[in-house]
A and B are shown apart, each in its own frame.
Chain A
Amino acid sequence: MRAVNYNPKLRLQLLLILLSISIIANIFGSYFTRFFIAEITILSIFAISLDFIASRGGMVSLGHAMFLGIGAYSTAILSINYGISPLSSTLSTFIIGVVIGLIIGYFIVFLDGIFFIMVTLALGEMFNAWVFTSDFLGGSDGISGIIRPDFSQIGIDMNNPLTFSFYVILWLLGIYFLLTKITDAPLGRNLDAIRQNSHRISAIGGYTKAYKAIAFSLSAGIASIAGSLYVQLNGFISPELTHWTVSGEGLIMIIVGGIGSISGAILGATVVHIIQHELSNIINWWMLVIGFGFIFIVLFMEDGLWGLLERIQKKLK
């Protein structure tokens, strides 16, 4: 796993650039553009959740779509079956994701490398299979009729994609600042150290497994928020959301963007999703193009697009 990037300046610059672009595009864009921005922002949150554990604890998860699903389904059930407000549903979803993540994390964080990937993949697939057969969760039809938060009392219409986009951007910003804070705090440093040399962290008395379980559970909570916002955006949930390929796409996003900088994950999510969308309109073998592009980045561009930006930044100095 490549470097974590302590380049707070570039991290913030990149965030501000992406933020400005999305705000401008949101204000001046069409209905569709606004919807698309909300979608990218939600995917960015998902990518950040993967980036956080990949870079801090060295954990690569191919089962994170499960938490997307947990967020999505629990939001649907809480707001439809129990009449809980959409905003409270999203917040509850975070707690649910954290708790389930902690339980799962407790049992799997001792695994290394490929074993961790395989076990998360297996867990995700089990969840996916269960969702498809569960009547309670609507089986292959999924659930529809999920509503967005209602802020009409303060004059904000969330059914307007303009406002909903801003709403999810606020979530992204909140999560971004939470994670940068953790990165610079002792727990974040210990997690980063575990990725570099977990053996030494044990030798100086660290609680290696506990740190990793906490990181995993936090990441699960964040992925759940992404799932919650995603169903509120679309109004319905389809069980395909929990397929392992969704986790795989998330990993592609963070590798393209560059692992460990948080902002790189947002950039990766943006670029990959735009390319995916544009290409799938033009050609039907777009997956092949993405595949080759991905291989190119892994082989020739250290640290993905973030690495490229860092090199440009150095040249400009």
Chain B
Amino acid sequence: MLLSLNNINKSFGAIKVLNNVNIISERKECIGIIGPNGAGKSTLFKVISGNLKQDTGDIFFNNTNITNFNTEKRARLGISQSFQKNSLFPEMTVKESLTLALTHKYNVSFNIFNSLVNNKNINTDAINIAKDIGLSDYLETKSDNLAYGLQRQLELGIAIACNPTLLLLDEPTAGMSPQETKEIIKLIKKLSINYSIIIVEHDMEVIYELAKRIYVLDRGSLIFEGDSKSVKNSELVQQKYLGI
């Protein structure tokens, strides 16, 4: 078992956003989380990555109790997140952003004497990642000047670059064109061979394509868990979420 969330509760003021959530993720498994707007999916991700602290409940990662670890520590253990709302370095180019993220994979972030531009491994990696995320033609473009869909791709690229064990992808394809979405699905599929992935998506095609197991979150509570077939066949889910 790679990740286990035990009885997670989280409220914002009087609003209960996560209600006794239990989730287990195995190594190299791809899990999907779906649910209507405001169900608490992004909040759940932030609790896993340490950006938000839950009110009660424990989190175990790799047999370590990480409940009291901050974001940086969890990231170093291998939890990486691509955010629903882009979180980029606006003045850095695509290549600069990726090489920057790679300084953490290669543990050289404290280096003060060797120019990053001359680091062969990091630059080769950066170019490969850029190719994977479809940004090869934009290496020298500043993040701020990228179109929204391309920014989404970079958002994902930064999350991949720091070489995580567990990838949390919060609506990675939102705002992308159908063509771009297809490419990203292909990429995530490839990544899922080596990484554990938890993915939040509204696009059910993406979820069915990628996730082996799907959790359905509704107003903070998990109301269903199963594979894509059982989700498709569940009346409860259809009625609550898919609105059919």
A positions within 8 Å CB-CB of B:
3-4, 181-182, 184-190, 192-193, 196-197, 199-200, 202-208, 210-211, 214
Known: A189-B99, A204-B80, A204-B158. A199 touches B87 (CB 8 A): yes
Residue pair A205, B162 in contact (C-beta under 8 Å): yes
Q: Mark B97-133, 1 if CB is under 8 A from A, else 0.
A: 0011101100011111111110100000000000000
Give the residues in chain B near A204, CB-CB below 8 Å: 75, 80, 101, 104, 158-159, 161-162
Report the stretch among B10-18, B34-42, B88-96, B178-186 that lies at the interface. B88-96
Residue pair A182, B101 in contact (C-beta under 8 Å): no
> In the complex, what distance in Å separates the CA atom of A182 from the CA atom of B116?
10
Residue pair B90, A189 in contact (C-beta under 8 Å): no
28 residue pairs A–B, Cβ–Cβ below 8 Å:
A4-B91, A181-B115, A185-B111, A185-B116, A186-B103, A186-B116, A187-B111, A188-B112, A193-B89, A197-B88, A197-B90, A200-B87, A200-B88, A200-B89, A202-B71, A202-B75, A203-B75, A203-B81, A203-B87, A204-B75, A204-B158, A204-B162, A205-B72, A206-B104, A208-B72, A210-B110, A211-B110, A214-B110
> In the complex, what distance in Å separates the CA atom of A186 from the CA atom of B162?
14
Which one of A196, A197, A205 has the highest number of Cβ atoms from chain B below 10 Å of its Cβ? A205
Give the residues in chain B near A197, CB-CB below 8 Å: 87-90
Residue pair B88, A189 in contact (C-beta under 8 Å): no
Residue pair B87, A189 in contact (C-beta under 8 Å): no
Residue pair A211, B87 in contact (C-beta under 8 Å): no
Asked if B49 is an interface residue, CB under 8 A from chain A, the answer is yes
Known: A185-B113, A202-B75. A193 touches B100 (CB 8 A): yes
* A272 shortest CB reach to chain B, Å: 26
> In the complex, what distance in Å separates the CA atom of A189 from the CA atom of B92?
10
> In the complex, what distance in Å separates the CA atom of A229 from the CA atom of B110?
29
Main secondary structure of the interface of A (DSSP, over half): helix
Asked if B240 is an interface residue, CB under 8 A from chain A, the answer is no
Within B66-96, the residues touching A (CB, 8 Å) are 70-72, 75-76, 80-81, 83, 87-92, 96
> In the complex, what distance in Å separates the CA atom of A3 from the CA atom of B109?
21
> In the complex, what distance in Å separates the CA atom of A193 from the CA atom of B100?
8
Give the residues in chain A near B162, CB-CB below 8 Å: 204-205
Give the residues in chain A near B49, CB-CB below 8 Å: 203
Which one of A182, A193, A207, A208 has the highest number of Cβ atoms from chain B below 10 Å of its Cβ? A193
* A216 shortest CB reach to chain B, Å: 14
> In the complex, what distance in Å separates the CA atom of A185 from the CA atom of B110?
9
* B90 shortest CB reach to chain A, Å: 6
* A17 shortest CB reach to chain B, Å: 24
Give the residues in chain B near A188, CB-CB below 8 Å: 112
Q: Which 7 A-B pairs have the closest CB atoms?
A: A205-B75, A186-B103, A205-B76, A184-B115, A204-B162, A186-B111, A196-B89
> In the complex, what distance in Å separates the CA atom of A192 from the CA atom of B110?
13
A189 touches which of B76, B83, B96 (Cβ 8 Å): B96
Asked if B177 is an interface residue, CB under 8 A from chain A, the answer is no
Give the residues in chain A near B62, CB-CB below 8 Å: none
Residue pair A186, B90 in contact (C-beta under 8 Å): no
Residue of B nearest to A184 (CB): B115
Give the residues in chain B near A199, CB-CB below 8 Å: 51, 87
> In the complex, what distance in Å separates the CA atom of A186 from the CA atom of B119?
10
> In the complex, what distance in Å separates the CA atom of A271 from the CA atom of B117?
33
Residue pair A207, B72 in contact (C-beta under 8 Å): yes
> In the complex, what distance in Å separates the CA atom of A295 from the CA atom of B8?
52
> In the complex, what distance in Å separates the CA atom of A185 from the CA atom of B119?
10
Residue of A nearest to B74 (CB): A205
Residue pair A186, B91 in contact (C-beta under 8 Å): no
4 new A-B contacts, CB < 8 A, other than A181-B112, A186-B100, A193-B100, are A186-B119, A192-B91, A200-B87, A206-B75
A187 touches which of B70, B81, B110, B159 (Cβ 8 Å): B110
Residue of A nearest to B108 (CB): A186
Residue pair A189, B103 in contact (C-beta under 8 Å): yes
> In the complex, what distance in Å separates the CA atom of A192 from the CA atom of B112?
13
* A122 shortest CB reach to chain B, Å: 27
Q: Mark B48-63, 1 if CB is under 8 A from A, else 0.
A: 0101000000000000
> In the complex, what distance in Å separates the CA atom of A214 from the CA atom of B112?
10
Give the residues in chain B near A3, CB-CB below 8 Å: 91
> In the complex, what distance in Å separates the CA atom of A210 from the CA atom of B109?
11
Known: A186-B116, A189-B96, A193-B100. A203 touches B109 (CB 8 A): no
B158 touches which of A4, A182, A196, A200 (Cβ 8 Å): A200
Residue of B nearest to A194 (CB): B89
Residue of A nearest to B106 (CB): A186
* A303 shortest CB reach to chain B, Å: 12
Which one of A181, A203, A206 has the highest number of Cβ atoms from chain B below 10 Å of its Cβ? A203
Residue of A nearest to B51 (CB): A203
Which one of A186, A188, A214 has the highest number of Cβ atoms from chain B below 10 Å of its Cβ? A186
Give the residues in chain B near A186, CB-CB below 8 Å: 100, 103, 108-112, 114, 116, 119
Residue of A nearest to B93 (CB): A6
Give the residues in chain B near A210, CB-CB below 8 Å: 110
